[in-house]
Amino acid sequence: MPNTVQEIVNRFSQLGIELSEKEIEERLQKLTSEFKVPIGEAKRSVVNYFLKEHDIDRSQYYAGSTNDITAIQDINQEGRWVTLKVKVIQLWEANHESIVQVGLVGDETGIIKFTMFQGVTIPEPLEEGKSYLIKTAVTGVWQGKYQINMNKATSITEIEEDVEVGRQTAEFTGVIVDVQTGSGLIKRCPECNRALSKGVCTEHGKVEGVYDLRIKAVIDDGKTTQEAIINKELSEKLTNITLVEAKDMATEALDHNIVTDRIKSKIIGRYYTIVGTKIDRYLIVSEIKALPKITKEAVDELLSQLHTTQTEGSTTHSTLDCVAIEQSKNTNEEAL
Amino acid sequence: MEENLQYVREPAKRIFAQELQESNLTYKEEDDQYSKQYLITQTGARINRLYITGTLIEKENIGNETEYWRARITDPTGAFFIYAGQYQQEAADAIVRIEPPGFVAVIGKPNIYTTPEGATMTSVRPETIQVIEEDTIDQWIVDTAHQTLQRLNDKDNPVAKQASAHYQTDLTRYKEMIITALSAVR
Ligand SMILES: [Zn+2]
């Protein structure tokens, strides 16, 4: 927030207008805390307010501002060169030789996937939680979503500033219908925290991995599905299996899959409410609760709806359909 | 952004045993063998995947050389028929382990079999079967009652129109089915 205030003050000052820091702060505060507007949206709205107030054109404000940094939410075209100021949120296993790093970066306005190819000018690999200035990356589209690609033309420098990331929280209630591969007892690289594949880190090669527990679950409300990532602490609470117990179990069985199977048996097919941060297609879970027991009131409520709604167009089956159904019933009965 | 370029997982629809048994209308988005098949049910659910719960009351290995398990799972409205062979190994293993009667949840795909005589039989090809607690059964009944009622009340849904044209759906019967199911919740 203080960074955002200062940035707005500075930019308006460049345009010859001195704004009150306090007023900007108050307006941002009101939108973000009272109205739960994401910081990026709030910033945009506050800037627009002052632009109108002082009769300045939007394009004039954004042209040449802070070294032409593009806000992630404004990326809406393929093949555009952009400069971004971002924080690294997550790094994944890169699964191709020409790719150095893959992951997610975010700024105040949103989160975007990036792919870093060989040849990028960068002193050290990106690290999760650190902020960077990425110059001349190019926008692309993958699986219907925008992303940024970093290549030979791109240069990256770490910056002091801690970039605030606009995050979207979401809640979802449904049934866990799947636990995906990569769940259970996993090993991570001690250097970069990436999940290892067969003991190998894509960046650091064969390393002595550090054990971790995580669940990649699919939760489903009958209409849509949501992929969710549940960290060690929540996984332990949810399944009553600690990391230590998981390790013992796997050692005894000489098989890591036993842990995943135990997790599956405890959570698949049950109802939960999860709360978390939306990142790409995942919900990074911060809270998970089993759905409370069904109350008599909930049942009565539904029953009263059934008795009040009038059934229109109620007809009987045609003879043909009746036969089909009767036969299908008979077949079912005989089959067992 | 073109969301449709992305792979979208099919949600698991909620349906009672009676309705599944009485539904046999299939539908494919495109006419090739690789496109997804859907079952359109009496109340207008369009199902490629489903989530059911109930009591596993019988199981039998009907395979010859390789194991092929079938199980009968009941809910308050009728029975679901589950078939699991070597291509549903995890589910088949689960059936082997479970001692009937026991509460289970199944996530799977609807499967319509047509006999040489032309009769149809709708069963479930499981992706996973898990032993669950009774509380979940009650939650599923209420959830399924709610979603079935929503379908019954959604008169503008084109799928429901298609269903009613094919089945001449007797809506009163399906309301009675929901009441029967809810009466089983303790
Ligand atoms: Zn590493």
- Angle at the Cα of B114 from the Cα atoms of B113 and B120, rounded to 5 degrees: 85
- Residue A144, C-beta contacts closer than 8 angstroms, at least 6 positions apart: B1, B2, B3, B4, B5, B6
Please tell me which of the candidates A143, A220, A324 has its beta carbon nearest to residue B5.
A143
Helix, strand, coil abundance in chain A, percent, nearest 5: 35, 35, 35
Query: Which uninterrupted H or E stretch holds A201?
Result: strand A200-201
Question: Helices A257-267 and A232-239 meet at what angle, rounded to 10?
Answer: 60
Alpha carbon A140 to chain centroid distance?
19
Structural contact between residues A31 and A45, judged by C-beta atoms closer than 8 angstroms: yes
Q: What is the mean pLDDT of residues B149-162?
A: 90
Burial B119-151 (b: 16+ CB within 10 A, else e): bbbbbbbbbbbbebeebbbbbbbbbbbbbbbbb
What's at A105, amino acid-wise? Answer: V
**Domain residue spans of chain B:** 12-145
For chain A, the average pLDDT equals 85
- Whether complex ipTM tops 0.90: yes
- Residue A306 has its nearest CB partner, among B113, B128, B149, at B149
Mutate to test the interface with B, among A299, A309, A333 (most CBs of B within 10 A): A299
Q: What is the pLDDT of residue A64?
A: 52
DSSP state of A327: H
Interface contact B168-A315, CB threshold 8 A: yes
Identify the pLDDT of residue B128. Answer: 96
Superfamily of domain B12-145: Nucleic acid-binding proteins (2.40.50.140)
**A143 confidence band (pLDDT: 50, 70, 90):** low
Measured between alpha carbons, how far is residue B68 from residues A187, A272, B125, B129 in Å? 36, 33, 12, 15
pLDDT digits (tens, 9 = 90+) for B27-71: 887 777 778 899 999 999 999 999 999 999 999 999 988 999 999
Asked if A336 lies within 8 A of B175 by C-beta distance, the reply is no
A36 CA to centre of ligand 1 in angstroms:
37
Within 13 Å of residue B166, how many CA atoms lie on the same side as its CB?
20
Q: Residue B61 burial (CB < 10 Å; 0-12/13-18/19+)? A: middle
Would you say residue A216 has pLDDT above 90? Answer: yes
Q: Name residue, tokens 């990356």.
A: A137
Q: Residue for token digits 């219908």?
A: A177
What is the Å distance from ligand 1's center to A193 Cα? 6
Q: Which of A331, A333, A334 to mutate to test the interface with B (most CBs of B within 10 A)?
A: A331
Write out chain A residues lying below 8 Å of B182, CB-based: 299, 302-303, 306
Among A6-10, A134-138, B164-168, the range of highest mean pLDDT: B164-168
Distance of CA A61 to the CA centre of its chain: 31
Mean pLDDT within A7-13 = 85
Cis peptide bond upstream of A123, omega within 30: no
Smallest Cα–Cα separation from A265: which of B111, B102, B70?
B102
Q: Who has greater pLDDT, B149 or A167?
A: B149
Give the separation between CA A285 and CA A226, rounded to whole angstroms: 11
Task: Name the DSSP class of A67.
Answer: G
CA–CA gap between residue B77 and residue B20 (Å, rounded)? 10
- Yes or no, beta carbons of A303 and B127 under 8 Å apart: no
Token pair of A60, please? Answer: 């004039």
Identity of residue A156: I
Strand-pair partners of B111: B123
Model pLDDT for residues B97-142, shown as the tens digit of each residue: 999 999 999 999 999 988 888 888 999 999 999 999 999 999 999 9
Q: How far is the CA of A195 from the centre of ligand 1 (A)?
A: 8
Non-local CB neighbours of A324 within 8 Å, separated by 6+ positions:
B24, B119, B120
Nearest Cβ partner of A311 from B12, B147, B171?
B171
Average the pLDDT over A184-192 and give the result. Answer: 90
**Per-residue tokens: B18:** 């009676």
